[in-house]
Amino acid sequence: MLSYFRNLIPLSPFIAPSINSTIQPPSSPVPAASTTQPTLSPISNIQGHAYNRFIQIWLENTDFALAAGDPNIAWLSTHGISLTNYWALTHPSQPNYLAAVSGDHFGLDSDDYISVPSNIPIVADLLDTKGIAWGEYQEDMPYAGFKGIEYNNQHTGANAYVRKHNPLVLFESVTQNATRLSLMKSFTSFAADLAAGTLPQWAFVTPNMTNDGHDTSITTAGLWARSFLEPLLNNAYFMNDTLVLLTFDENEHYETPNKVFSLLLGGAVPESLKGLMDNTFYTHYSALSSLEANFDLPSLGRWDCGANIFELVAKKTGYANYAVDTTNLWFSSSYPGPLSPMDAKAWPAPNTNAKCAAGNGVLEKVMSVWGRVDGSLHYADPYPHDDGLGANASVSRLPTPSQMAPSTNLVQSGTASGPSPTATETTGLVQSGTQLSPSQTVPDTTGTAPGGTLPSSAGASVMYTAGAVTMDLGAAWCWDWTLAALGLMAGFL
């Protein structure tokens, strides 16, 4: 483990995140602040390969089967593509939100207050390179740019907005920028922007703690999701070239693999693909990599760099996704980092030499800080793992390249709660009920890593190719069970 910290590259501009907690403002100043805090609704019209607007909506803490079996979620699945192999990244909630906009959770393993230094780039920096309008809509946020820990209904104490479910407010590059704060708005602004035709081209939407299922159930969350989305699916302005990702931050039970039910909806989904299942391996990082590929944006050089791209986009850009054997994959804990209790002061270096899945290299802002480096972690690989720690690397085989056509993993949907799709053919659409398998497999092997012998279920150093690119992923070994147990004992929610 010590070797891991030696590989982290400390830079003098980086500071330790603040350990001070914000204080929820008393109820009296909030109405006054809401009348003076500006809101902005910039618009843009940048053309993408597969969609022109991307909106992601996150629900909370639900196991895959439970979400898939909800009748309202099942109804929504008939109007889009069910992503049946989509994974959250860790536990608890906050690090998943953090990672979704920055490409890494940086070791965060709690919902405690954190503030990420302003020179850690985020998705907003990518979008700004092309003038793509972006924003957030947070239900029951009292006013635009609110930075408090939470805000409850002042009469009932329910329907809470919480900071930990707002990804952009976790970054000082947003909280220290008045313009960016004005783009972080409430659902009232969503209704106004929808009516005025001023929705941004990228938006993150978070329901309150009641409607996202955190304080209630999947029944409540599913009902809210349908009631929110059904009118939008019939709104011509909203639907026009829009892609919606409906997903869950994490599953409920830490002792089970952290796979979450997810859907792609909207006018960008062709009619011929609605009601189908896509069994391609995705994580929360895939939303970032897909965005980058769709709009020809650079990468952040972190786990977004090598993450699989939504097939809807990949088939437009010609990218071949990787098949990943998830037999022993968990994503149930975070590796140590600058935001973990171990409090490593150094931030991991991004990979600034990689072309990344989108093929556009790394953001210039990242290059200006780090220069040319290969990265402290395997950021160019299709899923998060680390050789030294074995974090999230307990798969029986390392990723192998898929030789299937981009649309091959789309399979006919039966019911949303049905079995994982399986294949009876190698090309085209296939019926549900069969399991799609990688076109190539790497035999299980036993090897030796620094400090010991690999378990028999781990893969030794494997060479594989994707097109003309050859990667050596190295050996994988697992310590995930220990951290998962610690997380369970800590009782994170």
Dihedral angle, C-alpha 53, 59, 60, 62, nearest 10 °: -110
The Cα 69–Cα 75 span in angstroms is 10
The Cα 115–Cα 282 span in angstroms is 27
**Residue 367 CB: number of other CB atoms within 10 A?**
17
Give me the phi and psi of 325, to 5 degrees please.
-80, 110
The Cα 426–Cα 439 span in angstroms is 9
> Catalytic: which of 111, 125, 193, 215?
215
Sign, CA torsion 480/82/54/272: positive
Closest CA to 378 of 474, 281, 482: 474
Angle between helices 285-294 and 93-102 (to 10 degrees): 20
The Cα 406–Cα 403 span in angstroms is 9
Q: Tokens for 481?
A: 């069970």
Active site residue 215: yes
Q: Are 459 and 387 in contact (CB under 8 A)?
A: no
The SS3 of residue 215 is: coil
User: Known catalytic residues?
Assistant: 215
